[in-house]
C-alpha cells in the first residue's frame, strides 16, 4: 500500500484538528525511508505498529469529535474517550518501560514477537518532515562549531568528513553547503547515494577514497564547495583517511549507530549478508558492528589529535563503541569527542531556541511562502532567522507536504503561530497549518548521551522534564501529545515528549497555540535556568521586559 498525504481543502474527518493529524500520519509515510514496512527513519523508527493499526487509526481519526481523545499505546489505537473540546485530540505513549526492563535484549525479543515498536522521536508522533527536520539542527550545529573553533567560520576552504545518508544523515551535505563547506560523506548503500544525488543533495558519487580526496582537495584550492558521496563502509574509510594523512576540518558521523543490530553495517559484510546474518546470528552482528564502530571512533580520535574538530552528532556512536573499548580508550573517547549538544547547542536550548517546524496542510507552496515570509519579517532583532529562511528556500529539496524547519525560541514560536492562525482565518493561507518540533528540544528530551549530556546540575538522566512537558502540553490543549522512550540501542537511554498544534484559524486554536507553545519552550528555559545556565536566566529576565514575545516566565529560584 502506498500512502501519500491528502492535499487541498476538503475534509475527510469531522474537523480540521483530526484531518490535520491524519495528513501528518500520511505525510510521515510519504516521506519515510521504508513506508511499505511503516518505517519512517533511523533504521527502525515506525509510524504505527502495523497496517491493521494504521487502518483503525485512520478510521478513528475520521470519526473523532472535538470533545473526544484518541488514545494510542505503542503505535496502536486502544480507545476513543470522551474528554472536552480543549483537550488533545490524540495522546500517545510509545515503548515506555520501567528501568530494569528497558534493556536491548527485552526490546528486541518483544519486537520480534510484534509486541512493541520503536517510534523514533518523530516517527510514531507523525511529526517527521524528511531530512529537513534535522537539517536546521545540523546547520546550527556546524555553524556553532565553526564559530567556536575558527576565526573565519563559513569558508569555502574547509571540509567535513562524515558518514550516513539516511533519513536524517542526508541533511549533512546540504547544511554544509549552506555554510560554504565541502563534504566527504561515506555511505554503504548505493541506493541512498543515488537518491540524494537525484535530489541534488550531493554533487557526485565516487567509489574510491583517493578519487574522493583529490576532488575535495581541488575544490578547496578553487574555493568552490563540493559534496562528495563515497560508497564504502565508514569503519574502513575513516581509518583509511587517517592513513592518507588528510586532515578534515570537521569530523563526525550520522550512521544509525545507536542500533548495533539494524543501524550500522559491520565491516566485511555486504548489505545482503548483513540482512541474512541479522536473522541467523543477531548477537554476532551486534558484536561485529560494535567492533567496527570502535575502529571508526579510533580513527576519529586520531583525526582529533591531528587537529580536526571532532564531535558526535546525536547517534550514540561513542556508547556503542564503548562496549568493546578498554577503560582507558573509553575515557579518551568521552573526553576528546564531545557530544553535539554540550559542545555547541546548549546555549540555544537555554533560550528555548530549538527545532520548531510548520507543515502546510493544503499542500500549496503559496501557503508555505506566506508562513516563511511571516517568519522572515517578524523577528528583525534576530536576523539569523531571515537568513535561514532564505537559505532553506534555496537549498532544501522538497519532500512531502510543504514544510519548514526553523530554530525559533521562547515566545517567537507562539507569536509566529498566532500570526499564521490569523492568516488562515482571513484567507491569506488557504487551509490550516500544523506546528510541531523535534522531540530533541529544550524541555522535551532526556538522553544523557545526546540531548542532556553534561548538564550543569548533573540532571543528565533525569526524565522529570519531558514528563512535566507532556503534562503541561496536555493541559495547554495541544492537539497531539506524545511520550516516547527507548528502543534498540536507545533502550534505557531516553525519554522524550512531542507536540503538534493546529492553527485552523479559530479563536480556540489561538488559545491552544498561546498556551501549548509557550508552556513547551517556556519549560525548556526554566529547566536550563534551574540547572544554572546564565543564558536561560537572562531569557527568564527578558520575558518580563515590555514588548517581549511570550508570557512572562515566573521562575521560582531554589
Smaller CB distance to ligand NAD: residue 22 or 188? 188
In DSSP notation, 160-220 reads EEEE--STTTTHHHHHHHHTT-EEEEEES-HHHHHHHHHTTSSSEEES-HHHHHHHHHHHH
| Binding status of residue 137 toward ligand NAD by CB under 6 A | yes
* Binding of residue 172 to ligand NAD (CB under 6 A): no
Distance CA 202, CA 185 (A): 9
Report CA-CA distances (Å) from 170 to 133, 270, 359, 399.
11, 21, 20, 13
Q: Which is nearer to ligand NAD, 31 or 540 (CB)?
A: 31
> Does residue 231 belong to the site contacting ligand NAD (CB under 6 A)?
no
**134, 406, 416, 497: which one is catalytic?**
406
Active site residue 13: no
* Backbone torsions φ then ψ of 175, nearest 5 degrees: -70, -35
Q: Please enumerate in sequence order all residues whose Cβ is within 8 A of that of 22, keeping only pairs 6 or more positions apart, or say none.
A: 6, 12, 13, 58, 61, 62
Q: Is residue 166 near ligand NAD by the rule CB under 6 A?
A: yes
Q: Which residues pair with 73 in a beta bridge?
A: 76, 93
Q: Which three cell numbers stand for residue 486?
A: 527507548
Q: Which helix (H) or strand (E) holds 71?
A: strand 68-73
**φ and ψ at residue 127, rounded to 5 degrees:** -115, 0
Q: Shortest distance, CB of residue 467 to ligand NAD, whole angstroms?
A: 21
- Contact pick of 20, 58, 235, 502 for ligand NAD (by CB under 6 A): 235
- What does the per-residue mask of binding to ligand NAD show for 529-548, with x meaning CB under 6 A? --------------------
- Name which of residues 421 to 440 contact ligand NAD (CB under 6 A): 440
Residue environment code for 321-357, b if the CB has 16+ CB neighbours within 10 A, otherwise e:
bbbbbeeeebebbbeebbbbbbbbbbebbbbbbbbbb
Does 127 sit near ligand NAD (CB under 6 A)? no
257 binds ligand NAD (CB under 6 A): yes
Spatial contact of 532 and 456, defined as CB atoms under 8 Å apart:
yes
Q: Site for ligand NAD (CB under 6 A): how many residues? A: 33
For cell 541467523, the residue is: 280
255 touches ligand NAD (CB under 6 A): yes
Among 234, 309, 415, 517, binds ligand NAD (CB under 6 A): 234
DSSP 455: -
Q: Which of 95, 183, 308, 315 binds ligand NAD (CB under 6 A)?
A: 315
Comparing CB distances to ligand NAD, the nearer of 349 and 379 is 349
- Single residue of 124, 188, 295, 516 touching ligand NAD by CB under 6 A: 188
CB of 409 to ligand NAD, least distance (A): 17
- Number of Cβ within 10 Å of residue 100's Cβ equals 8
- The CB-of-513 to ligand NAD minimum distance in angstroms stands at 25
Stretch that binds ligand NAD, among 40-48, 86-94, 206-214, 407-415 (CB under 6 A): 40-48
548 in Cβ contact with 486 (< 8 Å): no
What whole-number distance in Å separates Cα of residue 90 and Cα of residue 78?
Answer: 11
Query: Min. distance of Cβ 271 from ligand NAD in angstroms?
Result: 8
Q: Which three cell numbers stand for residue 546?
A: 515590555
Q: Does 165 bind ligand NAD (CB under 6 A)?
A: yes
Q: Choose which of 164, 239, 411, 432 interacts with ligand NAD (CB under 6 A).
A: 164
The residues annotated as belonging to the active site are: 406
- Residues at the site binding ligand NAD, with contacts judged by CB under 6 A: 33, 41-43, 134, 137, 163-169, 186-189, 192, 233-235, 254-258, 263-265, 313-315, 440
Amino acid at each position: 500500500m502506498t500512502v501519500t498525504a491528502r492535499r487541498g481543502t476538503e475534509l475527510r474527518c469531522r474537523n480540521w484538528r483530526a484531518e490535520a493529524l491524519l495528513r501528518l500520519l500520511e505525510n510521515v509515510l510519504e516521506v519515510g525511508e521504508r513506508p511499505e514496512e511503516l518505517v519512517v527513519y533511523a533504521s527502525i523508527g515506525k509510524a504505527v505498529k502495523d497496517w491493521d493499526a494504521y487502518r483503525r487509526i485512520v478510521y478513528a481519526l475520521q470519526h473523532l469529535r472535538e470533545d473526544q481523545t484518541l488514545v494510542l499505546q505503542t503505535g496502536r489505537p486502544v480507545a476513543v474517550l470522551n474528554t472536552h473540546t480543549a483537550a488533545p485530540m490524540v495522546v500517545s505513549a510509545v515503548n515506555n518501560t520501567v528501568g530494569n526492563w528497558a534493556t536491548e535484549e527485552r526490546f528486541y525479543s518483544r519486537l520480534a514477537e510484534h509486541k512493541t515498536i520503536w517510534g523514533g522521536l518523530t516517527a510514531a508522533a507523525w511529526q517527521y518532515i524528511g531530512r529537513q527536520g534535522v537539517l536546521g539542527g545540523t546547520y546550527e550545529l556546524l555553524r556553532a562549531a565553526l564559530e567556536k573553533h575558527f576565526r573565519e567560520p563559513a569558508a569555502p576552504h574547509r571540509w567535513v568528513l562524515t558518514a550516513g545518508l539516511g533519513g536524517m544523515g542526508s541533511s549533512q551535505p546540504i547544511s554544509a553547503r549552506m555554510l560554504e563547506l565541502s563534504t566527504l560523506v561515506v555511505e554503504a548503500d548505493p541506493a541512498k547515494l543515488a537518491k540524494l544525488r537525484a535530489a541534488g543533495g550531493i554533487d557526485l558519487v565516487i567509489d574510491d577514497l583517493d578519487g574522493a580526496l583529490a576532488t575535495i582537495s581541488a575544490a578547496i584550492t578553487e574555493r568552490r564547495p563540493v559534496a562528495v558521496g563515497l560508497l564504502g563502509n565508514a569503519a574502513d574509510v575513516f581509518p583509511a583517511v587517517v592513513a592518507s594523512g588528510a586532515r578534515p576540518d570537521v569530523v563526525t558521523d550520522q550512521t544509525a549507530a545507536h542500533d548495533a543490530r539494524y543501524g550500522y553495517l559491520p565491516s566485511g559484510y555486504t548489505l545482503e549478508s548483513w540482512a541474512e546474518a541479522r536473522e541467523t546470528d543477531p548477537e554476532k552482528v551486534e558484536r561485529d558492528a560494535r567492533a567496527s564502530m570502535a575502529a571508526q571512533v579510533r580513527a576519529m580520535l586520531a583525526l582529533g589529535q591531528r587537529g580536526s574538530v571532532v564531535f558526535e552528532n546525536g547517534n550514540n556512536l561513542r556508547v556503542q563503541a564503548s562496549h568493546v573499548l578498554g577503560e582507558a580508550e573509553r575515557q579518551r573517547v568521552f573526553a576528546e569527542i564531545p557530544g553535539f549538544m554540550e559542545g555547541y547547542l546548549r546555549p540555544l536550548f537555554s533560550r528555548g531556541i530549538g527545532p520548531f517546524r510548520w507543515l502546510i496542510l493544503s499542500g500549496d507552496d503559496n501557503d508555505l511562502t506566506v508562513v516563511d515570509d511571516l517568519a522572515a519579517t517578524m523577528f528583525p532583532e534576530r536576523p539569523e532567522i531571515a537568513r535561514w529562511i532564505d537559505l532553506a528556500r534555496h537549498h532544501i529539496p522538497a519532500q512531502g507536504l510543504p514544510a519548514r524547519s526553523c530554530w525559533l525560541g521562547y515566545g517567537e514560536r507562539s507569536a509566529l503561530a498566532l500570526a499564521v492562525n490569523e492568516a488562515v482565518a482571513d484567507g491569506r493561507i488557504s487551509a490550516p497549518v500544523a506546528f510541531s518540533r523535534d522531540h530533541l528540544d529544550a524541555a522535551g528530551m532526556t538522553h544523557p548521551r545526546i540531548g542532556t549530556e553534561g548538564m550543569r546540575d548533573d540532571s543528565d538522566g533525569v526524565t522529570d522534564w519531558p514528563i512535566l512537558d507532556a503534562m503541561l502540553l496536555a493541559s495547554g490543549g495541544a492537539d497531539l501529545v506524545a511520550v516516547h522512550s527507548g528502543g534498540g540501542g536507545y533502550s534505557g537511554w531516553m525519554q522524550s515528549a512531542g507536540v503538534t498544534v493546529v492553527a485552523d484559524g479559530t479563536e480556540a486554536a489561538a488559545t491552544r497555540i498561546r498556551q501549548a507553545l509557550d508552556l513547551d519552550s517556556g519549560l525548556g528555559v526554566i529547566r536550563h535556568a534551574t540547572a544554572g545556565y546564565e543564558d536561560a536566566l537572562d531569557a527568564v529576565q527578558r520575558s518580563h521586559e515590555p514588548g517581549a514575545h511570550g508570557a512572562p516566565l515566573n521562575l521560582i529560584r531554589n
